[in-house]
Structure 1
Amino acid sequence: MELVVLLACLGWVCWPVLGDMIHRWSTDPRYGHGYLVPLFALGLLWMRRPSYDLDRARGSLWGVVLVASGSAVYLLGGYVGSGWIEGLSLLPVLTGLCVLFGGTTALRWAAPSLAFLFFMIPLPWRFEVALGASLQRIATKLSTVSLQTLGFVAYSEGNVIVMEEGRIGVVEACSGLGMLMTFIAISTAVAIVVQRPWFDRILIVLSAIPIALIANIARITLTGVLHETVGGEWADRFYHDLAGWLMIPFALGLLMIELWVLSRLFVELEAEEPVPGLAMMGFAGNAGHRGVSNLRAGEHAAPPLPGPTRSTD
């Protein structure tokens, strides 16, 4: 009951910040995935429920420290007028409530879900501008090279690709920033859920950036091809409507290919059955465990084979 009351108070205090987030999710295509982030976090809690030992859960007063720290961050965000800092304050507050009522046991259970909530917070405006401009330049240059490789006449003027039959403007909305943020969240979710070694999971998260860039470059390149083949009307319709829906499935397909490649490159070896003859002489049947006997409990190695003896004077 106390937890419900505290969550209600938290929602009342932080409602302006939550309202701004929901507004961005609804109006900004770059953060349309924000609605799915809390749902995935709740689903992840449900999936990890066997790891939560209710009998060992003991609340800790360290949670009060975390809640106080989050409250201080919230006040700081309001003082400097940063919605991003205000939104970020929700993470230490929720973590503190988790520790306050469940201790380290609850924290281990909820930590992946709490960390994933970071993706529902819109980025600071200055960071969006700087990152969006860089992505515009990269997408324009590489798309121009891609069209030239396909045999089309194309060159770039700033963030505009000039072709024989038209011009493609890589505006800020089409820079790929929305695709990048969405796909980083998706890749992180896949890395959390998939049963793979930690090295593979890190690669999956890091690969979100090049995969998102490849998807956006493919979108711009295909638009240029349509400009030169079927006309500008169909190309513009594809660029602004259909391509936006196809980018996520295309990027997910690339991610599935990456998972398939990783499963072929890094294969986990299972213990092999010992070879009977070698086991009797104390050799391991698995090449990765040299010098370790595979004899079962209660078995004894065979006595050494008789051999020629040397006489000494």
Structure 2
Amino acid sequence: MADLAADGAARPPVFSDLRSWSAAELVVAAGAVALVLPTLWSLARYHWSTSDGAHGPIILVSGLWLLFRGGSPRFRPGSIATGWLALGAPLLLLILYARTFRLLGLEAAAVFATLLLLGLFYWGPQAIRNRWVPIAYLAFLIKPPDLVVIGLTQPLKIMISQVAVAVLHAAGYPVAGSGVLIQVAQYELLVQQACAGLGSLLTLLAMGMIYVYLTRPPSRTHVIALLLSIVPIAVLANLLRVIILVLLTYHVGDGVAQSFAHDMAGMFTFVMAMLGMLLVDTILDRWHRQPQ
């Protein structure tokens, strides 16, 4: 069944009106595809294949579904033609520069900005405003600069390693720590390796935003509380991940802990984090349902 537009009229499925596109519009669409595909290939090869970027394919597929689930917006060209002419050429030059020097994060950001300008030009500002949540969600595909990631996560890594050492020491394990280094028995682990799941923070932020968007909590307070809970949930989930990996290293050896078990621990921790967010949502929902 066709979805309904805001005015109540039936909206055709995405791309069902390709025959109505002009030759110029088809050329622009083909050019956009040619612009995006090399960047997606580079992201898949150099970022999505790592633990920090493994969420990329999920965000890409689900984000495109959210963006077009109400059908393709009608063309409303001409609203910001001047802006496109002024910013389009510098962005294309920026993409060329980023690809030449293999600056993947800058390249992805420039491609994203170029597509956003195309959307503003062909769909109009109103259509973009109506889809700002899926667009912001797709922005999580942009690879963050390594220096920014290190600067933001290093204090968390130190804190998580110290708490993990304290918990395991209280449980009677021969464990000690210094900074991001954890030593258990004869093994040494770097939290940079054992806690690569800190990249899941971005994934959880993205998933939390879409969860709020789809479930539409009953009040603004509920929304704010749920979004604020994502960061502590992610930190607790990664603390659990580090503890699991230290225990695996101690009981079965470093080889197992850093092979398939490492990835399984990351998946288990991510699932636990999502369940934690659902638990917070349930608690908030029951609290708001209570008579005041």
User: Under TM normalisation by the shorter chain, which class is it?
Assistant: 0.7 to 0.9
Structure 2 residue 90 is the aligned partner of structure 1 residue 69: no
- What's the secondary structure of 1:171's corresponding residue? helix
CA distance in 2, matches of 1:73, 1:62: 16
Work out which of the residue numbers 47, 59, 65 in structure 1 matches 2:77: 59
Contact 1:160 1:167 in 2 (8 A): yes
Shift, 1:226, TM fit: 4.8
Structure 1: unaligned runs, 5 residues or longer: 270-286, 288-313
1:284-307 deviation per Cα after TM superposition (whole angstroms, max 9, x unaligned): xxx9xxxxxxxxxxxxxxxxxxxx
Corresponding residue of 1:275: none
Structure 2 residue 163 is the aligned partner of structure 1 residue 119: no
Shift, 1:217, TM fit: 0.8
Corresponding residue of 1:38: 60
CA 1:23–1:71: 2 relative to 1, 3 Å = farther
CA 1:76–1:29: 2 relative to 1, 3 Å = same
CA distance in 2, matches of 1:67, 1:172: 46
- What's the secondary structure of 1:61's corresponding residue? coil
Work out which of the residue numbers 46, 51, 62 in structure 2 matches 1:24: 46
Greater CA radius of gyration, 1 or 2? Answer: 1
Structure 2: unaligned runs, 5 residues or longer: 1-20
The alignment of Structure 1 onto Structure 2 pairs a total of residues equal to 265
- What's the secondary structure of 1:161's corresponding residue? strand
CA distance in 1, matches of 2:58, 2:189: 32
TM-score, L = length of structure 1? 0.72
Work out which structure has the larger RCO, using CA pairs closer than 8 Å and 6 or more positions apart in sequence: 2
Corresponding residue of 1:249: 271
- What's the secondary structure of 2:177's corresponding residue? strand
Structure 2 residue 233 is the aligned partner of structure 1 residue 215: no
CA distance in 2, matches of 1:6, 1:212: 41
Corresponding residue of 2:213: 192
Contact 2:35 2:111 in 1 (8 A): no
TM-score, L = length of structure 2? 0.76
CA distance in 2, matches of 1:64, 1:39: 32
Contact 1:179 1:248 in 2 (8 A): yes
- What's the secondary structure of 1:6's corresponding residue? helix
Return the letter of the residue paired with 2:60: P
Return the letter of the residue paired with 1:111: W
CA distance in 2, matches of 1:238, 1:147: 23
CA 1:14–1:235: 2 relative to 1, 3 Å = closer
Shift, 1:127, TM fit: 1.5
Corresponding residue of 1:150: 171
Contact 1:73 1:89 in 2 (8 A): yes
- What's the secondary structure of 1:244's corresponding residue? helix
CA distance in 1, matches of 2:266, 2:272: 10
Return the letter of the residue paired with 1:108: R
Shift, 1:106, TM fit: 1.8
Work out which of the residue numbers 134, 139, 158 in structure 2 matches 1:137: 158
- What's the secondary structure of 1:162's corresponding residue? strand
CA distance in 2, matches of 1:43, 1:268: 35
Deviates more, 1:28-37 or 1:18-27: 18-27
Structure 2 residue 28 is the aligned partner of structure 1 residue 3: no
CA distance in 1, matches of 2:81, 2:223: 30
CA distance in 2, matches of 1:71, 1:17: 18
Return the letter of the residue paired with 2:61: L
1:118-155 deviation per Cα after TM superposition (whole angstroms, max 9, x unaligned): 11111112223323433321221121122234344432
- What's the secondary structure of 2:183's corresponding residue? strand
Corresponding residue of 1:264: 286
CA 1:79–1:73: 2 relative to 1, 3 Å = same
CA distance in 2, matches of 1:202, 1:70: 36
Aligned residues: CA RMSD: 3.1
Deviates more, 1:112-121 or 1:201-210: 201-210
Shift, 1:78, TM fit: 4.6
Work out which of the residue numbers 121, 129, 133 in structure 2 matches 1:100: 121
CA 1:107–1:224: 2 relative to 1, 3 Å = closer
CA distance in 2, matches of 1:235, 1:18: 31
